[in-house]
Chain A
Amino acid sequence: MTHGPASLYDTVDPHETLSKDEAHSAHLHVTPYWPMFWVFMILLALTALTVWSSNVHGFWIGNTEIVLGGTAHILIAMTIAVIKAALVAMYFMHLKYDQPMNTVIVGATIFAVIMFIGLTLADSATRGVMDPMEHKQVVHGGDAHRAADGTFVKGKGQVDAARENAKAKETNPGHGETKPAEAAPSGH
């Protein structure tokens, strides 16, 4: 392909499938300077806000102190982070000016991420809900020991440990419909 003079060869549309107007209007959104600068400044301010908020122990409403727990701090920090990320995506990454399809992709991705984290956490968070004995940590080896006379004394086995766990759980009125498991009649 030989290179013709610029006036004869439209680099945007070499195959000339767009009309002259389309070829020149469609292409560019030139990034403006000052809006970007202010976005940058807002981002810095929000960073400072995140750092500051993470060290806030709580606040007072009248005489009542509202203490911010770990969850509240995470929510605050994540809200600010989402705002920051949205600013970066909309302005720095031109999503605001771009093909809508790119926003659709971002939306689908966020949907997938939320489903992934949310439903996985739903599993972790509901362990032991149906059956209080489930999902207690296992301590291997038990506490068997030798007595003073050298004989082997059987320690607290898994069953006993699990029963104690269950009893502890069942004293909670939320699980009142099941009674503490009583020792089944022994074979001896």
Chain B
Amino acid sequence: MSGHHDVSFLAPKETSFKSVWAWVYTLDHKRIGVMYLAATLLAFFLGGVFAVVLRTELWEPTRTIVNEAGQATVTGRALFGWKENGQQVTANNAYNRAFTLHGTIMVFLFIIPAVPAALGNIFLPIMLGAKDVAFPRLNLFSWYIYVFGSIFAIWSIIHGGVETGWTFYTPYSSSTNWGGVTSMVLGAFILGFSSIFTGINFIATVHKLRVPGMGWFDMPLFVWAIYATAIMQVLATPVLGITLAMLVFERLFHIGIFDPALGGDPVLFQHFFWFYSHPAVYIMIVPGMGIISELIAVNCRKRIFGYRAIAFSSIAIAAISFLVWAHHMLTSQTAALNAIFSALTFLVAIPTAIKVFNWIATMYKSSINLNTGMLYAMAFLFCFTIGGLTGPPLATLAVDIHLHDTYFVVAHFHYVMMGGTVLAFLGGLHHWWPKFTGKMYAENPARLACIMVFIGFNLTFFIQFFLGTQGMPRRYATYVDEFEWMHKISTTGSYLLASGLLLHLMVFIQSLMAGAPAPKNPWGGLTFEWETESPPIEHNFPHEPVITHGPYDYDTEVPPHCDPREWPLPDQAKVAALSHH
């Protein structure tokens, strides 16, 4: 084998042109992953800006970013588009566009691809001991589709914005005449293909590229989670594709399938949409759960409690996720179906609960390294438990009638998505940052930022549960005075949250500019990615790695490239006694 195999995958080529070309036409899963990471972080920033804007609008009961005459202020106009189809930006449209763009960008451009396509792309093949994903060209193609779809989505912002909500409910979305809807819908349609191809790639990789000797239950739990996610991506996303295509047809050709004015059925659209979008929220959270399994096992130096239960629960969530979609429609569909879907929805809560119990049980009698990654894992457990436990009230029929489409749902959703996926993503980013950049980050500033994010997040969203039970509907630009104090707390929290995230950005920039070189295995992990260089070499390993132990055998193994004196093993006699049970 030639010499370039020993070079870091990030290393530039001989000439700058070749270097650029090597990124543009790379088939290396790690480079594609890094490109995804850059793109999704950009989308996260953009979505975050809209979030801060909409929280600012809610600072006062009446209008903040639009003036009393009902027109957008300069800020409002600058943010929400200058092409107005001959219409004024009316009172609330600025706000409506802010939350729509926040939702669409965060969901389609950030959360769905963030963990699987960015971190998954970089680490899934390495964790399997493979040189690359199964279909490297398809992988690159997925990235370009993602960029192409994102351009459509961004274009819609310039082209007057979108104000349908990220759910695009008909007949509002099929009848509204703001310019951006069609291009945003097309953007989401195209992004769906990126998601599908990534999912196909990962399933084939897991099936066919595990290193010889690695059985299904020797796989790291992150891989299990990505695998379960990929199943959902493949089986659910095409329905989103056809839904959005039919919505575009509805807008362009007035096919009348969803449009009641032509004899169609708007509830049918909701079924179509949620058949994808409910699995989609598991597409968003399950990879985050995979990261948490890694973070807790590595930083606790402990064999994960109930490995098989966690692995199977990922698959169970994937399977059940297809049966619960209509709990989003408890006020719009028929009573008989409500009863069915309420019951099915509780099923999905069980594997989720099992995971949380297992993670916390792993911490028992362990050796916990409270680095930023572990802090995020604990923050995740705190927030995700709240998010998870506020799900059952929403699945309980009589309660959901009251809470549906209120801030309770907003808070629940953000506790799961932001408090779950995003915190897990940030934890995973810190966990693997030294590995794929080759640079350490500054631990204490990162910890501070983590605490700011955690407090800011809870400040922002916890109060929203009470807003919801008191009856504040979501997607409201103006509200009655009695909710003001709660909105003020929430907005304050969002600023703290944003500051914490900016501090993270600074920590990362500092690390890239002047970070200390990372060792091969800074946290003492046992999975394959910690055996290779930091950053990994071009084909991941100089030789095909050999599997000698399970991913979490901390009882019997000293992690590779770690000093055995610093990593004393537990009392082997006790381990042996336990394993005889």
Q: Does B343 count as interface, using CB distance less than 8 angstroms?
A: no
> Could you tell me if A115 and B322 are in contact, using CB atoms closer than 8 angstroms?
yes
> Could you tell me if A115 and B334 are in contact, using CB atoms closer than 8 angstroms?
no
> Could you tell me if A123 and B322 are in contact, using CB atoms closer than 8 angstroms?
no
What would 8 A/B residue contacts be, using CB atoms closer than 8 Å?
A101-B207, A112-B322, A119-B341, A122-B336, A123-B267, A124-B268, A126-B337, A130-B334
Extra contacts besides A122-B337, A126-B336 (9): CB < 8 Å: A115-B322, A119-B271, A119-B326, A123-B267, A123-B333, A127-B334, A128-B334, A129-B334, A129-B335
Tell me, rounded to whole Å, the shortest Cβ–Cβ distance linking A109 to chain B: 7
Q: Which of B212, B231, B239, B271 contacts A123 (CB 8 A)?
A: B271
Q: Residue on B with the closest CB to A129?
A: B336
Q: Residue on B with the closest CB to A128?
A: B334
Q: Does B189 count as interface, using CB distance less than 8 angstroms?
A: no
* Interface set, chain B 319-374, CB cutoff 8 A to A: 322-323, 326, 333-337, 340-341
CA distance A122 to B341 in the complex (A): 11
CA distance A182 to B326 in the complex (A): 35
Q: Mark A113-140, 1 if CB is under 8 A from B, else 0.
A: 0011001101110111111000000000
Q: Does A108 count as interface, using CB distance less than 8 angstroms?
A: yes
In the complex, the 9 A-B pairs of residues with the closest C-beta atoms, listed nearest first: A126-B336, A130-B335, A126-B334, A120-B271, A123-B333, A123-B337, A112-B235, A127-B334, A116-B275
CA distance A102 to B487 in the complex (A): 52
Tell me, rounded to whole Å, the shortest Cβ–Cβ distance linking B427 to chain A: 31
**Residue numbers in A under 8 Å from B336 (CB-CB):** 122, 126, 129-130
Q: Does A172 count as interface, using CB distance less than 8 angstroms?
A: no
Q: Does B265 count as interface, using CB distance less than 8 angstroms?
A: yes
* Interface set, chain A 16-37, CB cutoff 8 A to B: 17
Tell me, rounded to whole Å, the shortest Cβ–Cβ distance linking A83 to chain B: 24
Q: Mark A124-162, 1 if CB is under 8 A from B, else 0.
A: 101111110000000000000000000000000000000
**Residue numbers in A under 8 Å from B275 (CB-CB):** 116, 120
**Residue numbers in B under 8 Å from A124 (CB-CB):** 265, 267-268
> Could you tell me if B337 and A119 are in contact, using CB atoms closer than 8 angstroms?
yes
> Could you tell me if B340 and A119 are in contact, using CB atoms closer than 8 angstroms?
yes
CA distance A123 to B335 in the complex (A): 9
Tell me, rounded to whole Å, the shortest Cβ–Cβ distance linking A138 to chain B: 9
Q: Residue on A with the closest CB to B231?
A: A108
> Could you tell me if A115 and B323 are in contact, using CB atoms closer than 8 angstroms?
yes
**Residue numbers in A under 8 Å from B333 (CB-CB):** 123
CA distance A112 to B321 in the complex (A): 10
> Could you tell me if B337 and A17 are in contact, using CB atoms closer than 8 angstroms?
no
Tell me, rounded to whole Å, the shortest Cβ–Cβ distance linking A125 to chain B: 9
CA distance A112 to B235 in the complex (A): 7
**Residue numbers in B under 8 Å from A131 (CB-CB):** 335
> Could you tell me if B235 and A123 are in contact, using CB atoms closer than 8 angstroms?
no
Q: Residue on A with the closest CB to B336?
A: A126
Q: Residue on A with the closest CB to B337?
A: A123
**Residue numbers in B under 8 Å from A116 (CB-CB):** 239, 275, 322
Tell me, rounded to whole Å, the shortest Cβ–Cβ distance linking B256 to chain A: 15
CA distance A119 to B341 in the complex (A): 9
Q: Residue on B with the closest CB to A120?
A: B271
CA distance A22 to B505 in the complex (A): 53
Tell me, rounded to whole Å, the shortest Cβ–Cβ distance linking A58 to chain B: 31
**Residue numbers in B under 8 Å from A101 (CB-CB):** 207
> Could you tell me if B334 and A108 are in contact, using CB atoms closer than 8 angstroms?
no
Q: Find the residue from A111, A120, A126, A129 having the highest chain B CB count within 10 A.
A: A120
**Residue numbers in A under 8 Å from B267 (CB-CB):** 123-124
**Residue numbers in B under 8 Å from A109 (CB-CB):** 235
**Residue numbers in B under 8 Å from A115 (CB-CB):** 322-323
> Could you tell me if A17 and B271 are in contact, using CB atoms closer than 8 angstroms?
no
Tell me, rounded to whole Å, the shortest Cβ–Cβ distance linking B340 to chain A: 7
Q: Residue on A with the closest CB to B235?
A: A112
Q: Find the residue from B207, B212, B271, B340 having the highest chain A CB count within 10 A.
A: B271
- Given A126-B336, A127-B334, decide whether A108 and B235 contact each other with a Cβ distance below 8 A: yes
> Could you tell me if A123 and B323 are in contact, using CB atoms closer than 8 angstroms?
no
> Could you tell me if B235 and A17 are in contact, using CB atoms closer than 8 angstroms?
no
Tell me, rounded to whole Å, the shortest Cβ–Cβ distance linking A101 to chain B: 7
CA distance A124 to B271 in the complex (A): 10
CA distance A17 to B207 in the complex (A): 17
CA distance A123 to B265 in the complex (A): 11
CA distance A126 to B341 in the complex (A): 14
Tell me, rounded to whole Å, the shortest Cβ–Cβ distance linking B51 to chain A: 33
CA distance A17 to B322 in the complex (A): 39
* Interface set, chain B 204-257, CB cutoff 8 A to A: 207, 212, 231, 235-236, 239
Q: Residue on A with the closest CB to B344?
A: A119
- Given A108-B235, A124-B265, decide whether A17 and B212 contact each other with a Cβ distance below 8 A: yes
**Residue numbers in B under 8 Å from A127 (CB-CB):** 334
Tell me, rounded to whole Å, the shortest Cβ–Cβ distance linking A182 to chain B: 25
Q: Residue on A with the closest CB to B267?
A: A123
**Residue numbers in B under 8 Å from A128 (CB-CB):** 334
Q: Mark B307-326, 1 if CB is under 8 A from A, else 0.
A: 00000000000000011001
**Residue numbers in A under 8 Å from B337 (CB-CB):** 119, 122-123, 126
Tell me, rounded to whole Å, the shortest Cβ–Cβ distance linking B323 to chain A: 6
CA distance A120 to B337 in the complex (A): 9
Tell me, rounded to whole Å, the shortest Cβ–Cβ distance linking B117 to chain A: 21
**Residue numbers in A under 8 Å from B334 (CB-CB):** 123, 126-130
**Residue numbers in B under 8 Å from A123 (CB-CB):** 267, 271, 326, 333-334, 337
Q: Find the residue from B334, B335, B336 having the highest chain A CB count within 10 A.
A: B334
**Residue numbers in B under 8 Å from A129 (CB-CB):** 334-336
Q: Residue on B with the closest CB to A112?
A: B235
**Residue numbers in B under 8 Å from A112 (CB-CB):** 235-236, 322
